[in-house]
Amino acid sequence: MRKKIIAGNWKMNKTVGEAVELARELAAKDFDSGRVQVVICPPFTDLTAVQETLQGSRIELGAQDLYWEKSGAFTGQISADMLVSAGCAYVIIGHSERRQYFSETDETVNLKLVAALQAGLNPIVCVGEMLDERQNDETESVVERQIRGAFAGLTAEQAQKAVIAYEPVWAIGTGQVATPDQAQEVHGFIRALIREIYGDAVADSMRIQYGGSMKANNASELLRQPDVDGGLIGGASLDAESFWAIVKAE
């Protein structure tokens, strides 16, 4: 059985004060950590304060990006070791917004994935097609290229530490969620691809999250699909009640 993983991607939202307030509300909630894992990914500037706020809670901390070099003259960048020292256990890599607006490529995703694993971080690797790619029937080829690129050169032992987030770009922030069937179809494809590359053990244990307009009112149906092992939540993670309703969804 794969434990579900619900992660909140706060994106570029929340000042330190606002972040602490939200983290405090979440930390007060109870959940069955044997059934579901909960991760929140605030902006870099909020990490330390949120980490302190989460003391004693089973909610885990993640970041939204990292840079692959260990240290040095890379103005504005944040290394994997810095994230670990700030209390992060997870890091999101290759989110479609970073691919669209910040020139992220399959190659840079691969470099970041390697750096995260070397530092002991658990990577959440994002993949997903644009609307025109879906309309042109290219969903599987796009997702396959992104996964093969991200995992290039990685051993099965390394790969098994990763979570994959399938996030169709047309569903992100649009309110247009993928149907459970659409999600399951791609999740099944991703698991089969991981099986082909890494074999049964990695394929059966790897968690594949869905992301893109997941909300309390559609989460249960999505999470009930056999290959949907959790959610990466954007908009609905910015409010404690709406995020928690997804954590509680069965």
Q: Compare residues 8 and 115 and give the one whose CB is closer to ligand PGA.
A: 8
Q: Is 187 a catalytic residue?
A: no
Q: Compare residues 119 and 171 and give the one whose CB is closer to ligand PGA.
A: 171
| 29-34-40 Cα angle (round to 5) | 50
Q: Which of 95, 97, 129, 133 is catalytic?
A: 95
**Residues 39-78 as x/- pattern, contact with ligand PGA by CB under 6 A:** ----------------------------------------
Neighbours of 51 (CB within 10 A): 16
Minimum CB separation of residue 146 from ligand PGA in Å reads: 15
Residue from 94, 168, 212, 230 touching ligand PGA (CB under 6 A): that is: 212
**Residues 157-196 as x/- pattern, contact with ligand PGA by CB under 6 A:** ----------x----xx-----------------------
Alpha helices of the chain — where are they, by DSSP H? 16-27, 47-53, 80-85, 96-101, 106-118, 131-135, 139-150, 156-159, 180-198, 200-205, 216-223, 240-247
**Spatial distance between the Cα atoms of 104 and 90, rounded to a whole number of angstroms:** 19
Q: Which of 97, 104, 129, 167 is catalytic?
A: 167
| Binding range to ligand PGA, per CB under 6 A, among 75-83, 129-137, 140-148, 233-241 | 233-241
158: helix, strand or coil:
helix
**Spatial distance between the Cα atoms of 177 and 219, rounded to a whole number of angstroms:** 10
Look-up of token digits 């169709």: 168
Running DSSP on this structure, what letter comes out for residue 2? P
Query: Which are the catalytic amino acids?
Result: 95, 167
Residues near ligand PGA (CB under 6 A) are 9, 167, 172-173, 211-214, 232-236
